[in-house]
Amino acid sequence: MNPSMRALIGFGIMAVLLAGVGHYQSWNVMLAIFNLCLISAVMALGVNIQWGYAGLFNVGIMGFAALGGVAAMLTSRAPVSTAWAAGGSNLLIAGAVTLGVIAAAWQLSKWRGRAWVKTVAMLIVVLGGYVLIRQFYDPAVLAIEADNPAKSGFLGGLGLPIIFSWAVGGVFAAIIAWLIGKVALGLRSDYLAIATLGISEILIAVMKNEDWLTRGVKNVTGLQRPVPYELNLQESPRFIEWVEWFYAGSLAGLEGATRSQMLRELTVEGSSLFVKLCYGGLFLAVLLIVLILCVLALASPWGRMVRAIRDNEVSAAAMGKNVTRRHLQIFVLGSAVVGIAGAMLTTLDGQFTPGTYQPLRYTFLIWVMVIVGGSGNNLGSVLGAFIIWFVWIEAEPAGNWLMGIATASMEEGDWLRRHLLDSAQHMRFLIMGVIMLVVMRFSPGGILPERTARS
Amino acid sequence: MIDFLNALTLFANFVLIPGLTYGSQLALGALGITLLYGILRFANFAHGDTMAFGTMVTILATWWLQGTGVSIAPLPTALLALPIGVAATAIFALATDRLVYRHYREVKAPPIRLVMASVGVMFVMNGIVRFIIGPNDQSFMDGERFIVKARAFKNATGLNEGLAIKSSQMLTVVMAMVLVALLFWFLNRTRTGKSMRAFSDNEDLALLSGISPQKVVTVTWILAAGLATIAGVLYGLDKSFKPFTYFQLLLPMFAAAIVGGVGHPVGAILGGFVVAFSEVAVTYAYKKFITYLVPVDYAPEGLMQLLSTDYKFAVSFIILVVVLLVRPTGLLKGKVI
Amino acid sequence: MKKLLLASTILAGMTTAAFADGHEVKMGVILGFTGPIESLTPDMASAAELAMKETAGKVLDGKTIVAVRADSTCTDAAAATAAAEKLITSDGVVGIMGADCSGVTTAIANNVGVPNGVVMVSPSATSPALTTIEDKGFFFRTAPSDARQGQVLADILKDKGITKVAVTFTNNDYGKGLADSFATAFKAAGGEIAISAAHEDGKADYSAEVGALSAAGAEHLAVFGYVDQGGKGIIQTSLDTGAFDKFILADGMIGESLIKAIGADLNGTIGTLPGSDSAGAAKFKEVATAGGLKKNDGPFMPESYDAAALMILAMQAAGSTDRAAIQGKIMDVANAPGEKILPGELAKALEILKSGGQVDYEGASNVTLTDVGEAAGSYKELEVKDGKFETIKIR
């Protein structure tokens, strides 16, 4: 079958499935799933840049998504002036000292002298620096975290509209990716995988415990939105008029109390749909921009070069391509895309909760999306994201339903029945694993395999 | 002098013994990872869940044994059930090899494909374990819990500080030593073990000299599954069994294998202890310890803690990253990758 | 397409309405069946379903409330929101018992519950931040805010003359929030926190945490965690290593299973638990045992039962399954005046409401809601004596 046909059929089936959810469950559910599909698709594109283009196995997706989340929170949250007053100056000094220590260590590392003198000097600089930093850092943190801990207790952010944070999320992720890439990209694939897995855990640990910056496990809730609030819509006469106009057909035959009751229900539902459509529009715009850039990049000479590097590093290096540099570049780009998606996700949730980042959900699930969709194929990753997010969400009701049928003939108090019903939720992991293994085994290129000039 | 003994007891109680036990458990797990890496050449992400699977079977067998009234008190019943767990896990591991990994070996897929397949296996095992035994904490330790109790130690010695040694801790360390000795004997003295090492050093040469790859692979899986199960059961006896915890053990075990030098059995053991001790030692607050050692006037004000326990989990990764930076082949020279 | 979309929306709206007219009324039970507190939630859900079973066929002229379970995952706000979305817009539930963890609860309330005008009664989200979310009166909780508990704990310690404690808390918004509010109250009362260190749940090994805690030189250890999670591990390790033998426990740590696991060493332990007398709690245990539940005293089980019961009674009081009408009656049935109702007496309460009377639902956790719709927060001061939690006094 020709590839565009396959893509068309794939997306067609997805559309039918979503429409089915809309029809049989509700359009609100469908849009909620759809919005997350969009975000997942952006994330999967980021992973695809790294894995599909360059063969970099990054298992630290969770960390970059979380960095995006931090960006969303820090960009949109208003600064807390009392916290700044309490500990701001000390914190700034600590920051300056940190930079100084790093600069000193950097200079020292370039100094040519006796090895042992250098080592001792380095130890003195690093340890002395650490002690010095904590002299300023510890009181600053104490003061900031003591500032109304139940409601605030952190520095706050910049107070800018949250939509800017999507770009900021990309930048944050890119900076950290650059640092990680410098350290880990010289190593072979397996090590990179394990290193990124570890580093993402460290990132989360920092976010969970540095309360002065992120409010830690106390979470930051009620982030501002880039779209209207349902409740405001429901009270806005204009929106109600709009609903009346739109649903004129179904309101026509009704009168008095029945009509106003119906109108109220429609307004509630309409507002919820409207907000989701707004989000969907924004996410779709981001997805399309990223997708188009990805497609263009992959088709450009640059794209051919990175694929050449992926397929044979040695000969690419022999041709004069700088493999390490390209790898670093791709690692940074891919991570930035994941960061953008992470910021979008936090925006949609309306809250930043560092405790919620878990590798199974934020790293491995995204990986399944890319593998199933087709690594190296941008459209494939998008399709994979849609399919897998859909399955992830619908696996639970499906599992419950299956278990319900399987246990229908058993007696009410039967322990096995109760056990099976209680365990239905764990079907999710099983289903994901089986899908991933089956696709990898029987269709290694995924649903939409990579297109190369040869085939 | 008394103060010195107090400080020593304190250190042993909170750093030495827990570190030794945890280190042994990590070492056994890391040995499995390193063996698989050496022979099959991929990092097995499903190893933590293999541990969980083996422990689960052992727990089920333990319950059954307890139900029939079998007991080997003062030792925990789980030891009796352990062979069943090892056998079941070995069979499961061989089945996954047959169904999943063999294909990739046959088509000579790049190692990263195998790593990914192991992520798939991890998902499946994760689901199976939770499906069968549920996500809850299971404590299956029976028999005598303590060899030395803290209070009894205090009374007997007259020291301020107590020292406690749990039987599960002793059991862990002893079992680990015996297993490691057996493993090294197997690898260095038996024909199969030697062919495994040959295979690990140079696959092509080993194949040329007539070593059956299938046999080597089979034995490797059985060994890895056995080590994982025993490590899991010991960990479960010492602490408790919970699927999620076992999944998270994957990272420290990886850290241990890499820090020691991947593909290097001695390195895995060394790495296990390095990771375990640094986790405990870096996050321990030395205030009391130092207070015993120095004159009263110099007693420290602060907690004398290098890193807050919040970052305990991160310690192993920080070590990992530092080792990768400074000496990517690990402490003992492992596979150069 | 858009026309079709909206036409179907109406259709969906119609079908949910039609459903409500049948003999079954759906209620959402959204808890973290997978994730970090997955070991607590099945029992919480069973407790809530017990209340529904108890009133089967007796609500609003012969209706039965059936539970629709959904997974909040406790951590993944996106998945939780999606699950709640499905409950509300697809299953057409009349109300939601849940969610459990404060983070996802906030997400569900802000993104789905409140915008759709669906009542949520959380049994276990205790974060002080939930007091002030913009819930338009649709969010309730049968668990009190931790701000109050910290104060109560500090008062108890002050009365006992304990001036220095080490604190360990489970590293989430519950633990951290409680530790913060306790620290503030305790310091104000002149106490000293020797060290305050987090522990992660589900780690199984807590020797490093206990080592650090004991090094700070306090004699008492306050544990703000969960009874079958890290909290138990901390206590076990403390006793095993001889680091602490005097403990102060918050509500998440109170449970018979703790005593069963630890034994006589716990004697003398002090604790707090929401509630004012144990009549309701004791009654709940009977009802739970009679109802065939696996456990009869897990953390938050009484609160779960109460959360479901409150909504059922409010439905009866409102005389309809309309979501807004239910919301209006929750406060009425939860608070005085009216006849006091304990667990197992729901049928009686329904009869009273049917005949136009009033009830004051006490339930298993002694429910009284404040103006903002959360449990008022009177606490029992407990002490372990001879291997049992005994109520010393009410605060």
Fill in the amino acid letter for C181: S
- How close C386 comes to chain A (CA, Å)? 34
Is A355 an interface residue toward B (CB < 8 Å)? no
Written out in words, the top-level CATH class of the domain with range B2-250 is mainly alpha
Partner-chain contact B18 C243, CB within 8 Å = no
**Cα Rg, chain B, nearest whole Å:** 21
Q: How far is CA A55 from its chain centroid?
A: 20
CA nearest to A74, candidates A390, A369, A388, A347: A347
Nearest to A29 among C78, C90, C114 (CB): C90
Contact C395, C378 (CB under 8 A): yes
Residues sharing a CB contact under 8 Å with residue C206, sequence separation 6 or more, in sequence order = C199, C230, C233, C234, C237
Domains of chain C and any CATH numbers: 2-143+280-361 (3.40.50.2300), 146-268 (3.40.50.2300)
Phi, psi of C249 (to 5 degrees): -115, 145
Gap between the Cα atoms of C321 and C327, Å rounded: 10
For every residue of C78-93, DSSP letters joined together read HHHHHHHHIIIIII--
Q: How far is CA B272 from its chain centroid?
A: 7
Phi, psi of A92 (to 5 degrees): -65, -40
- Looking at per-residue confidence, does C97 or B298 come out higher? C97
Contact A365, A236 (CB under 8 A): no
Residues of B with Cβ-Cβ distance to C207 under 8 angstroms:
14, 18, 22, 280
Partner-chain contact B240 C241, CB within 8 Å = no
- pLDDT for the residue numbered C349: 92
Q: Are strands C246-249 and C220-224 parallel, antiparallel or unpaired?
A: parallel
Gap between the Cα atoms of A156 and A82, Å rounded: 10
CA nearest to A198, candidates B256, C44, B203: B256
- How close B2 comes to chain A (CA, Å)? 32
Q: Using a CB cutoff of 8 Å and minimum separation of 24, what contacts does A134-137 make?
A: A136/A90, A136/A91, A136/A93, A136/A94, A136/A97, A137/A90, A137/A91, A137/A94
Nearest to C197 among B162, B240, B309 (CB): B309
184-203 of C, contacting A, C-beta below 8 A:
184, 198
Is C265 an interface residue toward B (CB < 8 Å)? no
Q: How far is CA C87 from its chain centroid?
A: 20
Gap between the Cα atoms of A65 and B225, Å rounded: 34
| CA distances, A429 to each of A18, B119, C253, C345 (Å) | 22, 11, 30, 41
- Chain C interface, mutation test: which of B154, B169, B249, B312, most C Cβ atoms within 10 Å? B312
49-88 of B, contacting A, C-beta below 8 A:
none
- CA atoms within a 13 Å half-sphere pointing along the CA-CB vector of C395: 21
- pLDDT for the residue numbered C22: 62
Is B264 an interface residue toward C (CB < 8 Å)? no
Residue with tokens 């910021």: A343
Residue C252 is given by DSSP the state G
Which subunits sit against C, judged by 3+ Cβ pairs under 8 A?
A, B
Mean pLDDT to the nearest integer, B6-13: 88
- pLDDT for the residue numbered C127: 80
Residue with tokens 């190893």: B47
Element (H, E) at C95: strand C95-98
Element (H, E) at C198: strand C192-199
Is B105 an interface residue toward C (CB < 8 Å)? no
- pLDDT for the residue numbered B181: 93
Gap between the Cα atoms of A122 and A120, Å rounded: 5
Residues of A with Cβ-Cβ distance to B255 under 8 angstroms:
194, 198
Contact A399, A407 (CB under 8 A): no
- pLDDT for the residue numbered A288: 97
Gap between the Cα atoms of B289 and C366, Å rounded: 47
Nearest CA in chain A to C145: A150
231-290 of A, contacting C, C-beta below 8 A:
231, 234, 246-247, 250, 265-266, 268-273, 275
- How close A82 comes to chain C (CA, Å)? 18
Mean pLDDT to the nearest integer, B57-74: 89
Let me know if B20 is exposed, middle or buried by CB neighbors in 10 A (0-12, 13-18, 19+).
buried
244-263 of B, contacting C, C-beta below 8 A:
244-245, 248
Residues sharing a CB contact under 8 Å with residue C39, sequence separation 6 or more, in sequence order = B134, B135, B136, B137, B242, C228, C229
- CA atoms within a 13 Å half-sphere pointing along the CA-CB vector of C162: 22
Is B27 an interface residue toward C (CB < 8 Å)? no
Give, for all 455 residues of chain A, the pLDDT tens digit.
677 888 899 999 999 999 998 888 888 889 989 999 999 999 999 999 999 888 888 989 999 999 999 999 999 999 999 999 988 899 999 999 999 999 998 888 888 878 888 889 888 998 899 889 988 998 898 899 888 877 788 898 899 999 999 999 999 999 999 998 887 887 767 778 888 888 898 899 899 888 899 888 888 888 888 998 888 888 889 998 898 888 888 788 777 788 887 888 888 888 889 999 999 999 999 999 999 999 999 889 999 898 888 888 888 889 888 888 999 999 999 999 999 999 999 999 888 888 888 888 888 899 989 989 988 899 999 999 999 999 888 877 777 777 778 777 776 666 777 777 767 777 778 888 898 899 888 888 888 888 765 44
Partner-chain contact C34 A348, CB within 8 Å = no
Contact A188, B337 (CB under 8 A): yes
CA nearest to C301, candidates C268, C234, C337, C255: C255
Is B155 an interface residue toward C (CB < 8 Å)? no
- Chain C interface, mutation test: which of A28, A142, A206, A260, most C Cβ atoms within 10 Å? A28
- Chain C interface, mutation test: which of B309, B311, B316, most C Cβ atoms within 10 Å? B309
Residues sharing a CB contact under 8 Å with residue B198, sequence separation 6 or more, in sequence order = B205, B206, B209, B211
Is C392 an interface residue toward B (CB < 8 Å)? no
| CA distances, B91 to each of B51, B81, B98, B225, C126 (Å) | 14, 16, 10, 9, 46
User: What are the residue ranges of helices labelled H in chain B?
Assistant: 2-11, 17-40, 47-67, 78-96, 102-106, 111-133, 150-157, 167-189, 191-201, 203-208, 213-238, 243-260, 265-283, 287-293, 312-326
Give, for all 395 residues of chain C, the pLDDT tens digit.
344 444 444 434 433 433 444 688 899 999 988 766 777 788 899 999 999 999 988 888 888 999 998 888 777 777 888 889 888 888 889 999 988 888 789 889 988 888 888 999 999 888 877 888 878 889 999 888 888 888 899 999 999 999 999 999 988 877 888 898 899 899 999 999 988 888 887 776 788 888 888 888 888 999 998 777 788 889 988 988 888 888 999 887 887 778 887 878 888 888 887 766 667 888 888 899 988 888 777 778 888 999 999 999 999 999 888 888 898 899 999 888 888 899 989 999 999 998 888 999 988 888 888 888 888 767 888 888 888 888 888 77
Residues of B with Cβ-Cβ distance to A193 under 8 angstroms:
43, 112, 115
Is B234 an interface residue toward C (CB < 8 Å)? no
Residues of C with Cβ-Cβ distance to A275 under 8 angstroms:
115
Residues of B with Cβ-Cβ distance to C74 under 8 angstroms:
none
Neighbours of B168 (CB within 10 A): 23
Nearest to C89 among A29, A208, A355 (CB): A29
Partner-chain contact B113 A419, CB within 8 Å = no
Neighbours of A361 (CB within 10 A): 20
Nearest to A36 among C82, C116, C136 (CB): C82
Partner-chain contact C103 A361, CB within 8 Å = no
Question: With helix as H, strand as E and coil as C, how does chain A read?
Answer: CCHHHHHHHHHHHHHHHHHHHHHHCCHHHHHHHHHHHHHHHHHHHHHHHHHHHHCCCCCCHHHHHHHHHHHHHHHHCCCCHHHHHHHHHHHHHHHHHHHHHHHHHHHHHHCCCCHHHHHHHHHHHHHHHHHHHHHHHHHHHHHHHCCCCCCCCCCCCCCCCHHHHHHHHHHHHHHHHHHHHHHHCCCCHHHHHHHHHHHHHHHHHHHHHCHHHHCHHHCEECCCCCCCCHHHHHHCHHHHHHHHHHCHHHHCCCCHHHHHHHHHHHHHHHHHHHHHHHHHHHHHHHHHHHHHHHHHHHHCHHHHHHHHHHHCHHHHHHCCCCHHHHHHHHHHHHHHHHHHHHHHHHHHHCEECHHHCCHHHHHHHHHHHHHHHCCCCHHHHHHHHHHHHHHHHHHHHHHHHHHHHHCCCCCCCCHHHHHHHHHHHHHHHHHHHHHHHHHHHHCCCCCCCCCCCCC
Mean pLDDT to the nearest integer, B25-44: 90
- pLDDT for the residue numbered C21: 47
Do you know the residue count of chain A?
A: 455
Residues of A with Cβ-Cβ distance to B111 under 8 angstroms:
189-190
pLDDT tens by residue, A33-79: 999 999 999 999 999 999 988 888 898 999 999 999 999 999 999 99
Do you know the residue count of chain B?
A: 337
Residue B337 has pLDDT above 50, yes or no: no
- CA atoms within a 13 Å half-sphere pointing along the CA-CB vector of B303: 25
Contact C258, C299 (CB under 8 A): no
Residue C251 is given by DSSP the state G
- pLDDT for the residue numbered B336: 43
Residue C145 is given by DSSP the state P
pLDDT tens by residue, B139-185: 788 877 888 888 888 888 888 888 888 899 999 999 999 999 999 99
Residues of B with Cβ-Cβ distance to C210 under 8 angstroms:
14
Contact B80, B72 (CB under 8 A): yes
Q: C374 has which bridge partners?
A: C141
**Cα Rg, chain A, nearest whole Å:** 26
Residues sharing a CB contact under 8 Å with residue C17, sequence separation 6 or more, in sequence order = C92
For every residue of B143-189, DSSP letters joined together read S--EEE-HHHHHHHH--SS---EEHHHHHHHHHHHHHHHHHHHHHHH
- CA atoms within a 13 Å half-sphere pointing along the CA-CB vector of C29: 25
Indicate the domain borders of chain B: 2-250
CA nearest to A56, candidates A309, A357, A364: A309
Nearest to C215 among B130, B240, B285 (CB): B285
Is C65 an interface residue toward A (CB < 8 Å)? no
Let me know if B85 is exposed, middle or buried by CB neighbors in 10 A (0-12, 13-18, 19+).
buried
